Amino acid sequence: MRNTRLLSIGLFSVAFGTGAFFSGTAVSKASNVDGMKIYLQHCKTCHGVDGNPTDLGTGLGARKFADPEWQAKTTDERIIEQINEGTPEMMMPFKEKLTPDEIKALVPVIRSFKE
């Protein structure tokens, strides 16, 4: 009886520990999303390769990511919200096109453009 109980506790511990281990692995893989690759694929057409709007982007009112004033006053949360929701007639929402991890990976790329 005692051996059965110890075996049950041991198996539970192994199962729980394995789950915790693999869930951590999934998180670390998600954090390896290449934000610059996503930016170049989905954002550069309007926001430019250097964070300065292209002619098309300027016509649509695209944000200049290299603007130090905008960088200082805009939170990471606001950047994520903007990417998710877009702006009617200006920027399409990306919440259906990109995963949450891909959207979060864009924030440091956008932050890297400050002058």
Q: Tell me, what CATH number does 101's domain have?
A: 1.10.760.10
In DSSP terms, which residues pair with 29 in a beta bridge? none
Query: Are residues 43 and 57 located together in one domain of the fold?
Result: yes
Query: Are residues 27 and 37 located together in one domain of the fold?
Result: no
Query: Interhelix angle for 35-42 vs 100-111, to 10°?
Result: 90
pTM recorded for the entire structure: 0.71
Query: Are residues 74 and 112 located together in one domain of the fold?
Result: yes
pLDDT tens across the length of the chain (115 residues) = 555 544 444 444 444 443 433 333 333 344 689 999 999 999 999 999 999 999 999 999 999 999 999 999 999 999 999 999 999 989 999 999 999 999 999 999 999 998 6
Cα Rg, the chain, nearest whole Å: 21
Structure tokens at 23: 């869930």
Query: Are residues 58 and 84 located together in one domain of the fold?
Result: yes
Total domains present in the chain: 2
CA–CA dist 73, 45 (Å, integer): 24
Structure tokens at 34: 């290449």
Query: Are residues 16 and 54 located together in one domain of the fold?
Result: no
CA–CA dist 71, 20 (Å, integer): 37
Q: 28 is in which domain, residue-wise?
A: 1-32
pLDDT (0 to 100) of residue 28: 32
